[in-house]
Amino acid sequence: MKELVFIGLGLNDENGITLKGLNEIKTSTEVYMETYTSRMPDFNLQHLETLCGKKIQFITRQALEEENGKQLLQAAENGKVAFLVPGDPFIATTHVTLRIDAEKMGIHTRIIHGISIMSAIVSLSGLHNYKFGKTVTIPFPETPAETPYNVIAQNKKLGLHTLCLLDLREPENRYLTINQAFKTLQAVEEQKQEKIVTQDTVAIGVARAGSDCPLLKAGFIKDLSSFDFGTPPYSLIFPGDLHFMEVDALIAFANAPVEFKGLFR
């Protein structure tokens, strides 16, 4: 059978894969994995290969984007290919084109879901899932963009929370920090002067979601800018209108200051 199975690995290490995902790998002809859309800090390739009894081949961003996934598609023409993706395979839209191309070629596709940053953020923070608006990625300073600032502004006007994913360059082992993200947004603030991201803006920094030692810290940007979040990966949340239960959760789970008591509506 011509088949391409997208399998989510979860967020931190190889133990985050579901049993269903593991069984799919075991019955695959070839297994590929990408590591550029997200970092899995404690991932152990040898352990996963031992668990599934398969050799796992890494595939680059260039092979997937510039070469249109030709290597994967050719392999799937001759059997069942498992494609391992950090998190949940399509939370990032990076691989949608690959799936479309596969279906056009008559290659059957399936998805085995994994733990995503979206669900992990909600669970860790205690914020209400239905109150999150559009998600956005904050790029490195050398590729400035107003989009993240604008998305936060739009969500705030609707009273919605904003999840900001922070850029990474896996081949360079480079990860945008929370402090750098603040500086990027504040540079836009200086130009637009809309008071969306100021020193007194409330935010929640998240590090290592999905691991055994995640860290959440809620506070005002003036305090969070100097806070040590430890090792990556990182995310940021800009809350919209907060319910009193969300405030209680941030105080309990994210060490928010007592001043948060006056923030709920």
Q: Mind listing the pLDDT tens digit for each residue in 84-110? A: 999 998 887 778 989 999 999 999 999
Cβ atoms of 52 and 79 closer than 8 Å: no
Q: Is the pLDDT score of 203 beyond 90?
A: yes
Q: Mind listing the pLDDT tens digit for each residue in 181-195? A: 999 999 999 999 999
User: pLDDT-based confidence at 27, cuts 50/70/90?
Assistant: very high
Which is higher by pLDDT, 246 or 41? 246
Q: Mind listing the pLDDT tens digit for each residue in 105-121? A: 999 999 999 988 888 99
**d(C-alpha 77, C-alpha 4), whole Å:** 9
Q: What CATH number did the domain enclosing 135 receive?
A: 3.30.950.10
Which is higher by pLDDT, 145 or 4? 4
pLDDT at 101: 92
> Quick one: 193 and 252 in the same domain?
yes
Last residue of a domain, one of 112, 135, 169: 112
> Quick one: 86 and 196 in the same domain?
no
pTM of the model: 0.87
Last residue of a domain, one of 112, 136, 166: 112
Edge-first strand listing for the sheet containing 3-8: 56-58, 30-33, 80-85, 3-8, 108-112
Domain that holds residue 254: 117-262
Q: Mind listing the pLDDT tens digit for each residue in 11-25? A: 889 999 999 999 999
Structure tokens at 84: 């391992």
Number of domains within the chain? 2
Last residue of a domain, one of 52, 85, 112: 112
> Quick one: 87 and 209 in the same domain?
no
